[in-house]
Amino acid sequence: MGTPADLPMQLWKANLDLQLRIGRLLQDSGREWMELGTRAVGETVEEGDAEVRGFLRSGDWQSLAALPVDAFWRQAQQRMGDSQAVTQIAVTAQNAFARGLIEALQDWQKDTARILADAGKGAEATADWQAMFAPWLAFQSAFIPPGGKGTKPRGG
C-alpha cells in the first residue's frame, strides 16, 4: 500500500513503464516495416538481375532488344500479386501494433488507478486526501480485483 508521499514516484514509474512499452512497440513495428521493404526490394533486384543475365548468356539480340518492354510487363504482373501479399503483411503488422498499444494503455490506466486508490488508503492520508481519492477507490473496486492486475467486470 502506498502513501501520499510515495504518489509522485509511483506515478512516474507507471508513466515510465508506459513510455518504455510504447518505445518497444515502435521499435518492433519499425523493424518489421524495414524487413518488409528490404525483402521486397531485394526480391525485385534479384529477379531483374537474373532475367538480364539469362538474356545476356543467350546471345539473342532480338530478345535483348525487347528486354525493357518485356521486363516491365512481367514485373508489373508479378508486383500485383506481391502487392496483395504485402498489404496482408502490413495489415497484420499494424493490427499487432494497435493491440500492443491498447494493452499498454489499459495496463497503464489500471496501474494509475491502483496507485491513486492506494494513496487514498494510507494511514497518513487525511480525510480530505481520502475524499479526493474516493472515486479512484470506487474505480479500483469495480475494475481491479484485490491483488490482481485488473480486468473489466463481465457485463460492464
Residue-level pLDDT at 65: 67
Residue-by-residue DSSP string for 31-98: HHHHHHHHHHHHHHHHHHHHHHHHHHHHT-HHHHHTHHHHHHHHHHHHHHHHHHHHHHHHHHHHHHHH
Residue-level pLDDT at 156: 40
pLDDT digits 0-9 by tens, 127-147: 777 777 777 777 767 766 555
Residues of the chain with pLDDT under 50: 150-156
Q: What is the pTM of this model?
A: 0.61
Question: With 0-12 CB in 10 A as exposed, 13-18 as middle and 19+ as buried, what is 59?
Answer: exposed
